[in-house]
Structure 1
Amino acid sequence: MKQWVTNQDGLEKIQLVQDAPMPEGLKEGEVLVKINRVSLNYRDTEVCMGLYKHHKHVPADQSGLVPCSDICGTITKVSAGDKVEGFKEGDRVMATFNQTHVRGQIVAEDMASGLGLPLPGCLTEYRVFPATGLVKVPDYLSDEEAACLPIAAVTAWMSINSFQPLGQPMQGKEKVVLLQGTGGGEPIITSSSDAKLERARKMGADHTINYKTTPDWHEEVLKITHGKGADVVFETGGAQTLAKSFECVAFGGLISCIGYLSGKGGLPGNRINTNVLALKRNVTLKGMLNGSRERFEEMLKCVYKGEKQIHPVVDKVFGFEEAREAFAYLFKGGHFGKVVIQVS
């Protein structure tokens, strides 16, 4: 079979292996999955550039690593025994990001089961998974759409509902949610692109802010909310945005830390006292590491199996042999929605 591998030495150096061995011999509880589509995440570019080697769960030698985690695939073989519950050959499935995180709060040991580092990833034609690391695809979703859900949709779901009891997610439009970037509640979207903001409005965004033309966007959020602020902030910027997020989050609100698109290091002269800012508005600051299989299935039941069919936004689909171009396109940052690779 074919698969892409990285020595974590640059996006342009990922390699297509034409004759990788097919997986053989399923253990009890495992299934063989034919990968149909793979969607890319910013994390995948960092893995290929060698920016995750510091992680304690990552072995020193990670040459020849298969990258990527988010898939839609079809089960082609099920192991013998009775430990594969709810799956059969022909089922379309998605993989959970941390394969051992089945329920509850994530623990450090689960980080060793992350697909695409430390574990071999999914940019390959076939892969074996434990059945406990898979969920079924809602029938109405295409393969491209389903591949978009494991990291993006589950992280978004947990960013809103991580403190909600299982089975009792936030309902209605009583909450204001601030999303940094076009990527429940009454949504306020920020972006540097007016064209992207226009598309977001057509998709249902109540308010949009261009943070380049309105650099004090946190003040605009307070105006929109009549001084109350956003109940939940999807904090994706990091160093350049966190202080402003603290200033426009509602009293008692939640800042869900998802990413660090403005860099991992601090900015010169831009140090903030998180204790003071958190106390000022009684804020909860929580890092988001995706969610469990249990919360993934909850999200699917609440969002993707109801009467209103919601479709993830797919920006562009690349062929399997165009994976290098797909990574470069994602890293450039001009996409709106998800970037997908068609495997088969």
Structure 2
Amino acid sequence: MTTQNVLRLTAMGSWENLANFKEPVPSAGEHEVLIAVKSVSLNFRDIVIARGKYPFQVKDQVVPGSDAAGDIVEVGKGVTEFERGDKVIISFDIATLYGPIKNWGNGLGGPIDGVLREYIAVPANAVVKVPAESTLSYAQWASVVCTGTTAWNSLYGNIPLKPGQTVLLQGTGGVSITGLMLAKAAGAKTIITSSSDEKLQHVKSKYGADYTINYKTTPDWAAEVQKITGGRGVDFILENGGSGTIKQSLEAIAFGGVVAIIGFLSAAKQEEMPDVAHFALAKGAVVRGIMVGSKQQLEDVAQFIGAHNLPVPVEKTFKFGRDEVVEALNYLASGQHIGKVCIDF
């Protein structure tokens, strides 16, 4: 029997609890494909799960990781749309083909085993073929799974972004940089925030951000946004902070604009929680929770990225192995990165 290396989280509390196991390589069942994993892109979610802080179900001794790109090596009975050798990515939620995700029970690397292993068998319906003309690396395509789908859902999942509108992105992580690239390619103006002038300069020069705001030196960044937009506000905000930044987001949003709630990196104290209902009502704003997105949205963003040949932002790659993955998660947790941190196999 052929075996593979599989990383499992043997206990909650830290990614130091990752351990390597030798396990059988699965076969592709009916309506499944077997994928040789070539790269995995890490997310802040992986850190939260390892720390035992994820607010949703996590499987015991889970294989972490939700974002993978690889090659199909076996096609199960009944699968007609794929063949061996196809370069593919796997949807975050393997059960949701279109429409909103119905629950948190089918996300890879949490309630079900994820992608930090050499081979994975998944339903063919959950797989998206990479555009044939693409020159992006496996790491770049792996980085499209959660990051790209989340950014696409934020900009197109409700009221679609139009050319000439303005998008504000919080921070310089993967979702923000990918959202910046998508918005720019769609003809929008962009504003990005960070606490680091160095990061802001890098993002401006490399990814073409139109405006930058250092929220440490400009703590009332919503007022700066209003100044930049001539008092109109921005049409879309990718809100990564959560309760600690939502008040300023709603002060910065245009009337009828969309605030996409993606992360919870900055929590407000209970006594300082803003009245979100009041602020949203005052602006007629849409405040949307973003649960990554469907396979359809992953397919849409993959086609868009392929058509525009967008350079998906991968900052650093590590090799697949227990110690290297721990090192990669340490690096991700340090917040030094601009863009994505990946594991290459």
CA distance in 2, matches of 1:305, 1:147: 13
| CA deviation after TM superposition for structure 1 residue 239, in Å | 2.2
Provide, for residues 95-115 of structure 1, a one-character-per-residue CA deviation record: whole Å limited to 9, x for no partner: 10111110122223xx21110
- What per-residue deviation string (whole Å, max 9, x for no partner) do you get for residues 98-149 of structure 1? 11110122223xx211100101000000010101111011332111111100
Task: Indicate if the aligned counterparts of 1:4 and 1:16 stay in contact, CA closer than 8 A.
Answer: yes
1:145 to 140, 149, 159: 140
In the alignment, which residue of structure 2 is the partner of 1:4?
A: 7
Off by >2 Å, runs of 4+ in structure 1? 169-172
Q: Given residue 63 of structure 1, which amino acid in structure 2 is its aligned partner? A: D
Q: Which residue of 1 aligns with 2:75?
A: 78
- Spell out the pairing of 1:314-333 with structure 2 (5 A cutoff): 314-321=314-321, 322-333=324-335
Contact 1:8 1:63 in 2 (8 A): no
Alignment partner of 1:136 is 2:136:
no
Corresponding position of 2:98: 103
Q: Is the 8 A contact 1:40 1:339 kept in 2?
A: yes
Q: CA deviation at 1:16?
A: 1.9
Distance 1:235 1:304 in 2: 22
Which of 114, 118, 127 matches 1:121?
114
Q: Distance in 2 between matches of 1:268 and 1:107?
A: 29
Whether contact under 8 Å (2:259, 2:286) holds in the other structure is yes
**1:27 partnered with 2:16:** no
Q: Counterpart in 2 of 1:87?
A: 82
1:175 matched to 2:191: no
**Aligned-partner SS, 2:20:** strand
SS at match of 1:128: strand
Q: 1:67 aligns with which of 47, 56, 64?
A: 64
Secondary structure of the residue aligned to 2:38 is strand
- Aligned residue for 2:247? 243
Amino acid at match of 1:127: I
Pick one of 198, 219, 235 that aligns with 1:195: 198
Equivalent-residue separation in structure 1 for 2:124 and 2:135 (angstroms)? 22
Q: Which residue of 2 aligns with 1:218?
A: 222
5+ long unaligned stretches in structure 1? none
* Comparing 270-279 and 205-214, the one that deviates more: 270-279
| 1:269 positional shift | 3.1
Aligned counterparts of 1:96 and 1:132: Cα–Cα separation in 2: 9
Q: Does 1:161 align with 2:183?
A: no
Looking at structure 2, the residues matched to 150 and 85 of structure 1 have their Cα atoms a distance apart, in angstroms, of: 23
Contact kept? 2:93, 2:101, Cα under 8 Å: no
Q: Distance in 2 between matches of 1:337 and 1:146?
A: 13
Aligned length: 323
Is residue 254 from structure 1 mapped to residue 245 from structure 2 by the alignment?
Answer: no
Q: 1:263-295 CA deviation, whole Å, 9 max, x = no partner?
A: 4xx414312111211111111100001111112
Contact 2:89 2:129 in 1 (8 A): yes
TM-score by length of 2: 0.90
Match of 1:50 in 2: 52
* Distance in 2, Cα, partners of 1:9 & 1:268: 25
Shift of 1:8: 2.3
Q: Does residue 1:313 correspond to 2:326, yes or no?
A: no
1-structure distance, mates of 2:278, 2:90: 40
Root mean square deviation of aligned Cα: 1.4
Identity %: 39
Given that 2:42 and 2:340 are in contact with CA atoms closer than 8 Å, whether structure 1 keeps it comes out as yes
Looking at structure 2, the residues matched to 271 and 216 of structure 1 have their Cα atoms a distance apart, in angstroms, of 17
Query: What SS is found at the alignment partner of 2:128?
Result: strand
**1:178–1:189 CA contact under 8 A, matched in 2:** yes
How many Å separate the matches in 2 of 1:121 and 1:153? 18
Distance 1:177 1:331 in 2: 26
> What's the counterpart of residue 207 of structure 1?
211
Indicate the larger mover: 27-36 or 131-140: 131-140
C-alpha offsets along residues 164-193 of structure 1, whole Å, 9 cap, x if unaligned?
4xxxx5342x11000001232211000011
Shift of 1:3: 1.4
Rounded to whole Å, the distance in 2 between the matches of 1:204 and 1:339 is 21
